[in-house]
Amino acid sequence: MKDGELEKKLEEIVNSFLETSKGENIEVISHFDTDGITSAAIMIQALKRLDQKFSLRILKGLTKEIINSLDKNKIIFFLDLASGSLKDIQDRDLKKVYIIDHHEIDVEKIPKNVEILNPELTSKQKISSSGLTYLFCKKIDERNKEFAKIAILGMIGDMLEKEIDELNNGILEDGEIQRKRGLLIYPSTRPLNRVLEFSSNPFISGVTGNPKGVSELLREANLNQEEGKYKNLIDLTEEEMERLVTSIVLRNPEKKHQDLIGDLFLIKLFGKLEDAREISAKINACSREGRPEIAIGFCLENLEYKKKAESIHTKYKQQLISGIKFAQEQKKINGKGYIILNAKDKIKDTMIGTISSILANSTTYEEGTVIIGMGYDGKEKIKVSGRNVGRNGRNLKELLSTVMESFNGEVGGHHSAAGCLVDIKDEEEFIERIKRELEIEVIKIENHQNL
């Protein structure tokens, strides 16, 4: 989105919102991932500053049933949600709806009572909902600049750090973020051995989840304890960092040296500089463990919630390592250019997307391979998460949308990361449909190459 376009759209929506919201009750509804949580944290603080009455709901996903339950007399504000639910919103005939989102959208379906800030409607630049929410709130009141660091957490939570220079629109500067070059394993502000043991991106074979493997790797890299403990990752010298990266590459031959080195973003939270990826992971863990209120409190720098968030994150990391091991060992449905991991009740629905992303970022599969992860939600649904290895290949939002035409469920996401919910009773039929659709695409590609 060009600066001029963004500025113009922001101006329009902010003016409309300020005019429409006076004296009204607002219901803020946001997604439960890091981007959604940080968007909500920024928005509620801006609304408090306006002395605006509001309520907040955090959702795993937006369904027709939820939309039909909304109060028609309230102004509804969706964050990181709703771009794929415009028909249901129109059918509900709500009073006024605002949407700040960055997911794919059908332009022709925008109802008259809905105003949307979404880069998909213009130049399709990648920017997180938290970044957009921050720019919206800053436009309302310059004092909201203090929440810039929360927006950066959301951008990093949505894995947009490589695009952060192009997209940040001054947010990095507003948030007084410190940036350093280093090894892209987090948290960079913690001792080496602990960081390597819980490294999930990248997953280091024989090291992740294996204290003995960690010790062997550090010994090979000639990195020893000093005064009974290892250095923090960020404190390594250039030579020490080089030795560590070499040892990791030897265990992951397909990982290139340059893939492991990049920008680290340090954010001041609770008066201490922290690795933004680690904070983002803590927020994510709270929500995925069903405690979004703790994630919000953590973003607002509440000390009581900080302790709770850290406890939840420790437990979540252990579950994640177990989930990765299960995913590696579990028999999968293998096809040409795709794999399907049907974890059933062995991996939580709130974790299947993360596991699918880790598989997609591993060196196990060729670039362009489609990873489909499936996990039960403990009720009557299956969470389906699609990822592209190397972020190239099939448009997964289109793929899942095509398959879901035969089932009852919403689809959300992007080209290389998308998801949906399927009824457990449709499990086998869904698998057959998605296999057929993936195989049709392979035939199309082969025929095109043979022309």
Residue 206 CA to residue 379 CA, distance in Å, equals: 35
Which positions ≥6 away from 172 have C-beta within 8 Å?
A: 148, 152, 164, 165, 179
Q: How many CA atoms lie within 13 A of 125 on its CB side?
A: 20
Segment 29-41 mean pLDDT: 95
- C-alpha 276, offset from chain centre: 14
Instruction: Provide long-range contacts, Cβ within 8 A and 24+ apart, for 324-329.
Output: 324/200, 324/203, 324/208, 324/209, 324/355, 324/358, 325/209, 327/355, 327/358, 327/359, 327/373
pTM of the model: 0.80
Are 34 and 313 within 8 A, CB to CB? Answer: no
Whether residue 159 is predicted with pLDDT greater than 70 in this model: the reply is: no
Of 28, 29, 31, 78, nearest in space to 283 by CA? 31
Which pLDDT score is estimated for 181? 81
- C-alpha 409, offset from chain centre: 21
Segment 381-389 mean pLDDT: 93
Task: Report the percent of the chain where pLDDT is more than 70.
Answer: 91
Residue linked to tokens 């009141």:
141
164-168, 236-240, 275-279, 428-432: least confidently modelled range: 164-168
Residue 316 structure tokens: 């979540």
Segment 259-278 mean pLDDT: 87
Domains along the chain? 3-158 (3.90.1640.30), 179-325 (no CATH), 331-444 (3.10.310.40)
Segment 178-185 mean pLDDT: 83
Residue 94 CA to residue 74 CA, distance in Å, equals: 8
Segment 99-113 mean pLDDT: 82
Segment 127-143 mean pLDDT: 92
Of 117, 151, 120, 149, nearest in space to 134 by CA? 151
Which pLDDT score is estimated for 402? 92
State the pLDDT confidence band at 60, using cuts at 50, 70 and 90: confident
Express each pLDDT in 67-84 by its tens digit.
999 999 899 999 999 988
Whether residue 106 is predicted with pLDDT greater than 80 in this model: the reply is: no
